[in-house]
Amino acid sequence: MSFFIVFKEVSFNILSFLKRLLFCYLASICLSFSVHAATIYYQATDLVDTSVDNDLWRQTYSINNHDFNQETGFSVFFDSTLYSQLQNSVPTDNADWDVLVMQPDPLLFADAGVYDALALVNSPSLADSFSVDFIWLGEGVPSIQNFEIYDVNFEAITSGNTVSTVPLPASLWLFLSGLWLLIKPRVVSITGFFNKEAVA
């Protein structure tokens, strides 16, 4: 195989690879807009138990990717089979919010306790975290919870599950995954080519 043919083939492969790489990157950016939904992150902290029979914990929440208007807010729900004795552990000094804790009640909220925060102004500060103490009735460590973000009519506009950590942006995961899928066959192809040349 002449040098010119080899050079032409390699150049074509590189150009094709770069085109696919660019497409993958642009696609990941476009898809990232769809994953920038409101997210509530939580951190579970095991507190010193006040009695042997009570396993005391604290959930601390932070909110990303949502700008609240006045008289809108969010609610985090506590399954009555897993949580009891909810208490607003650290009353916020943030005057932008009105925080309310409601105990599990079979007549309200489908038997779930509620931690609710209502915005008192437009674009309230989210710099302060939100937290609630409770008795954990389950096994292991408290995990994800259902949440809702509601409008001025208290109608849910967004709902989902809390997440424990901040993940890498979805666009970055998509880009890295696409990059590997593109690189892998090229690495195999180039390695095979040089192995053939070595044998020849």
Give per-residue pLDDT as tens, 11-45: 555 556 555 655 545 454 444 434 457 899 999 99
Q: How far apart, in whole angstroms, are the C-alpha atoms of residue 41 and residue 60?
A: 8
What is the predicted pLDDT for the residue at 28?
47
pLDDT digits (tens, 9 = 90+) for 34-74: 445 789 999 999 999 988 889 999 999 999 989 999 999 99
pLDDT digits (tens, 9 = 90+) for 86-139: 998 776 668 899 999 999 876 665 578 999 999 999 999 998 889 999 999 999
Query: Per the structure block, which two tokens stand in for 87?
Result: 């208490």
Name the nearest CA neighbour of 44 among 161, 131, 147: 131
Tell me if 17 sits within 8 A of 186, measured CB to CB. yes
Burial 73-91 (b: 16+ CB within 10 A, else e): bbbbbbebebbeebeebee
Q: What sign does the dihedral 81-57-128-61 (CA atoms) show?
A: negative
Mean pLDDT taken over the chain: 77
Name the nearest CA neighbour of 111 among 82, 132, 80, 140: 80
Q: How far apart, in whole angstroms, are the C-alpha atoms of residue 179 and residue 174?
A: 8
Helix, strand or coil, per DSSP, at residue 54? strand
**For the packed helices 3-34 and 170-199, what is the interaxial angle rounded to 10 degrees?**
170
Query: Per the structure block, which two tokens stand in for 113?
Result: 């306790």
